[in-house]
Amino acid sequence: MKSLEVADEIVQRVCATAGFEEEEQHKISMAVHESMINAIWHGNKSDASRHVGLRFDLYANRLEIHIRDQGAGFEVSNVPDPLASENLLKVSGRGIFLIRSFMDDFRVEFVPGSGTEVILVKRINSSDNSIEGGTDREHEGHNTPS
């Protein structure tokens, strides 16, 4: 959990480098924060001996953020809908909903023997509907254990 502050600072720097406006930086930061919390609590079951990796890949047309925990994975389709009437008053369960709202793409991949990786994508040019191509601005990823 101590690494969340460090991760938040890195997110702000990467977003500024990518040229995102302040509002978009805030949305990306919140999505990463929610993903990190989910990785720590749900993926790693708050086990301090497990780590969460955080990597940023900056391309000409998009920012990809990879958050990997050491958990057994989950099915996104099994996550309860926070807008369903039975869930409206619950104090948790809105993280993935928020992440999907703030990012252009959200994927979950289970990596056998390694854990679960969440990939968040934010397009740099909002008029560009493609998330393929361009590696001329790719930066080496940053890993932040928690």
137, 31, 25: which is closest to 94 by C-alpha?
31
Q: Is residue 128 part of a domain?
A: no
Please report, for residues 32, 48, 67, 85, the alpha-carbon distance to residue 56 in angstroms, rounded to integers and kept in the order given. Answer: 11, 23, 9, 36
Q: What is the pLDDT of residue 146?
A: 42
State the residue range of the domain holding 78: 3-123
How sure is the predictor about 141, in pLDDT bands with cuts at 50, 70 and 90? very low
Q: Is residue 91 part of a domain?
A: yes
- What separation, in Å, do the N-terminal and C-terminal C-alpha atoms of the chain show? 6
Q: Is residue 145 part of a domain?
A: no
Position with higher pLDDT, 15 vs 145: 15
Q: Is residue 132 part of a domain?
A: no
Q: Is residue 134 part of a domain?
A: no
Q: Is residue 29 part of a domain?
A: yes
Q: Is residue 136 part of a domain?
A: no
Q: Is residue 76 part of a domain?
A: yes
Query: Rounded mean pLDDT of 125-130?
Result: 49
Give 67-123 pLDDT, tens digit per residue.
999 998 887 777 777 677 786 777 666 889 999 999 999 999 998 888 999 999 999
Q: What is the pLDDT of residue 91?
A: 61
User: What is the tally of structural domains in the chain?
Assistant: 1
CATH code of residue 43: 3.30.565.10
User: What average pLDDT is seen over the chain?
Assistant: 83
Query: Rounded mean pLDDT of 10-32?
Result: 97
Distance CA 49, CA 67 (A): 17
